[in-house]
Amino acid sequence: MELLLSSLDILARWDVALALLVGSVGGVVIGAIPGVGPAVAIAILLPATFSMDPIVGLTVLLGIYGSSMYGGSIPAVLINTPGTAVNALTTYDGYPMTARGEPRRALSLAYSSSFFGGIFSVICLILFAPVLARVAPMFGSREIFLAALLGIILVVVAHRGQSLIAGALAGFGIWLQSIGMEPVKYTQRYTFDQPFLQGGVNLIVVVLGLFALSQAFVLLTSDDEKIRMTRLRGPLFQGLRELARHPRVATVSASFGVMMGMIPGVGEFTAQFMSYTYAQRTSKRPQDFGNGASEGLIAAETSNNAVPAAAMVPLLALGIPGEALTAMMLSVFYVHNVVPGPQLFQSRMDFVVALYLALLILNVLVMIFLLSATGLLVKVVKIPNRFLGVCVLTLSFVGVYSLRNSVSDCVMAAGFGVLGYILKRLSWPIVPIILGMVLGGIMEVKLRAGMARVKTPWDFIDRPIAFILFFVIIIVLAVHARHVWQDRKALKEAEWKSRHRSTSFGARLLRRRKFLLKERGKVVRGRRKMLSRQSTELY
Amino acid sequence: MATERERRFVGPRRGQLIFAIFFFAVSALLLALIGSETQWVKKTKLVAQPRFWPAVGLGLMTVLSAIHLCRLPWRRITRYDWREARKWLSVLEFAGWFMGYVLLVPVIGYLPVTLVFVPLLSWRMGYRGGRMLGLAALFALAVVVVFKSFLAVKIPGGAAYEYLPDGLRSLFILYF
């Protein structure tokens, strides 16, 4: 109780209240605009939050992160275009509902499910915080190294069908973070004798280039789409009632969201996939999924909104971000000398709980805002793509230039923007680069510290948590190897089935010989012989 | 007709081979430079060597991109690949706009450059009506007011502000 009061005391400030309001409303608006998304917004706002208090800056960013998915469901339901990438599954059942004349029902159900997911995850984590506080100190350098390694491996294997290139891009991130002056032996690494590279490559410059500038380029080179909007009439409260009729699907989906959110590198997509599959398998009408099933919409929206709060667990408890957005937030902690990790849970538990309470309040604020302002919000979906590109390019300047007022930072960001644009055109993943940069830095420091007392390789995993993490890494790699082998086998089988009869010359001659020796062949030969005789007689 | 391998490939075909070759070549080149760009320190463990983590990163890049290149279902660069490469180069125009904006702000000042830049780029993108250009100018003003005047982000005042009268000069340097 004392902890809760001291956490509330941290939040009871006008600037935190304003940050909550701006974060929640801003997040919903950004989420509702297809083509922007929370990553772009957070990347742009990041340097602006450096001058704020840690709790204020983090509340704004958390607000955008937590509420963008609410807003993202609006275009997903109304125009079949997800506002943020994680709302893609919402279109499966949300848009068919709109198509059959029930947009209000679909939106209210999406809001209610998101609200339930958000609240469920925050309550779970507040209850779970004391356990985390007890477990977190058991993580030493070796355990954090292994957890970061597990995070990178999970990010790579999560890109099924692209794991090779995801691994190569994670390697690119690891190499990028190593550029500059090495902090222990004070030697230069890949600076090419250029003074601007001695300080290393700034994470925020890379993030702004790969997310914000590349998205501006994508929008500027795309065409404007004509959007036909469905009109919304009446209140949006009915979704809560409908949600109450499916408590099992909602609770299981939210639990999947919490569990997947806590594992670094997994995130919303896996949670959604698992929840949707579960809802479909246990439904009495599985054939309705993809055609406007309310359970499908509940599964998709509940699970994705349960992730943001849970994703803060590895970040706060171990200092390991599980995805690009939490990686960006890590830099806010570092700027304010608040080092996330086991010590944070021991020394500043009130700060951690205050962040969770902020998320709780945020969900309530977003719900109130959406129930009252959806009619107005629908209009932002209509902003033309290329004009949006102009806006994102202008805002990206604020993010990059205000960091250090450095032109070389801007050149680098523009370079990474072009790279990000190419990667997006090729459908190559961008997140492994960011996680490679962040987790590569953590792994370098922790491995060096962890190896100080290690004499034999076995010593590295002689502690229980280190051994569990090592065991999990082996299992993940084994499962991935099995998947790769199965995919390869399936490909071979498919290739074998679709292969035509051999057209090699020898086989063709054999078939011809067989044909000619058969009775039917003899008849055909005789007829042709007769025909040719007749034709020669003509001349 | 597309083969089974092509059908199962994640992502579009255009440009894949060119970029995979480029990525592998750059990775291999950087790995070849590891001897001159990093150092090996004597009496230091392998994992504490300054060369260790660049080697890990570049090793991953080179080996995995080589395997990716070998497993690509295409062996020839077609005209669609070159057309895609030209599309990549076309964004250099917007990178140029961005850099022009970056270089002009410290000289002319954040507010005047933004007020010209946003409507000009909107005009370039085909929004030539008065309503859209007005909206662009309004957006430009809002960005400067929110970020420079309200949030006080670190963007220096333009050199041209020095020519303003005394009262306005400090106001413009601080807020616009």
Cβ–Cβ below 8 Å for B10 and A161: yes
Pick from A400, A385, A218: nearest CA to B99: A400
DSSP, res B158:
P
The rounded distance, in Å, linking the Cα atoms of A74 and A68 is: 10
Torsions phi, psi of A496, nearest 5? -65, -40
Residues of A in contact with B147 (CB under 8 A): 48, 398, 402
Question: For position A267, what pLDDT does the model report?
Answer: 67
Question: For position B113, what pLDDT does the model report?
Answer: 94
Q: 3-state DSSP call for residue A503?
A: coil
Which helix (H) or strand (E) is A132 found in, with range? helix A103-135
Sequence-separated (6 or more) residues with CB below 8 Å from residue B43 = none
Sequence-separated (6 or more) residues with CB below 8 Å from residue B86 = none
Structure tokens belonging to residue B53: 């983590």
Cβ contact B109:B155 at 8 Å:
no
Q: Which of A189, A397, A427 sits opposite B37 (nearest CB)?
A: A189
Residues of B in contact with A165 (CB under 8 A): 64-65, 68
Question: For position B104, what pLDDT does the model report?
Answer: 93
| Class of residue A455 by CB neighbours under 10 A (exposed 0-12, middle 13-18, buried 19+) | exposed
Cβ contact A67:A366 at 8 Å:
yes
**pLDDT one-digit tens code per residue, B34-86:** 999 999 888 888 888 899 999 999 999 999 999 999 999 888 888 999 999 99
Residues of B in contact with A217 (CB under 8 A): 91, 94-95
Is B132 part of the contact surface with chain A (CB cutoff 8 Å)?
A: yes
The rounded distance, in Å, linking the Cα atoms of A194 and B129 is: 46
Q: Where are the domains of chain A?
A: 2-144+204-406, 454-499, 512-538
Q: Which of A184, A387, A410 sits opposite B102 (nearest CB)?
A: A410
DSSP, res A181:
E
CA distances B66 to A229, A389, B62, B127, Å, are: 47, 35, 6, 45
Q: Where are the domains of chain B?
A: 4-90, 92-175
ipTM over 0.90: yes
Question: For position B164, what pLDDT does the model report?
Answer: 86
Cβ–Cβ below 8 Å for A51 and B98: no
Residue with tokens 């309530």: A364
Mean pLDDT of A497-526: 75
Q: Please tell me the distance in Å from A112's CA to the nearest CA on chain B.
A: 33
DSSP, res A263:
S
The whole-chain average pLDDT of chain B stands at 90
Cβ contact A374:A74 at 8 Å:
yes
Question: For position A234, what pLDDT does the model report?
Answer: 62
Cβ–Cβ below 8 Å for A396 and B98: yes
Cβ contact A414:A209 at 8 Å:
yes
Residues of B in contact with A396 (CB under 8 A): 98
Supply the pTM of this predicted model.
0.83
| B37: closest chain A residue by CA | A190
Torsions phi, psi of A73, nearest 5? -75, -20
Cβ contact A63:A22 at 8 Å:
yes
CA distances A497 to A490, A492, A505, A508, B74, Å, are: 11, 9, 22, 20, 21
**pLDDT one-digit tens code per residue, A277-312:** 888 888 888 888 888 888 888 888 888 888 888 888
Q: Please tell me the distance in Å from B111's CA to the nearest CA on chain A.
A: 12
Structure tokens belonging to residue A32: 């509702």
| A400: closest chain B residue by CA | B102
Question: For position B122, what pLDDT does the model report?
Answer: 94
Percent of chain A with pLDDT over 70: 94
| A500: closest chain B residue by CA | B3
Question: For position B1, what pLDDT does the model report?
Answer: 64
Mark out the alpha helices in chain B (DSSP H runs): 4-7, 16-32, 34-37, 52-71, 79-90, 92-108, 110-124, 130-144, 166-175
The rounded distance, in Å, linking the Cα atoms of A221 and A386 is: 7
Cβ–Cβ below 8 Å for A394 and B117: yes
| A44: closest chain B residue by CA | B147
Sequence-separated (6 or more) residues with CB below 8 Å from residue B30 = A175, A190, B58, B61
Residues of A in contact with B15 (CB under 8 A): 422, 425-426
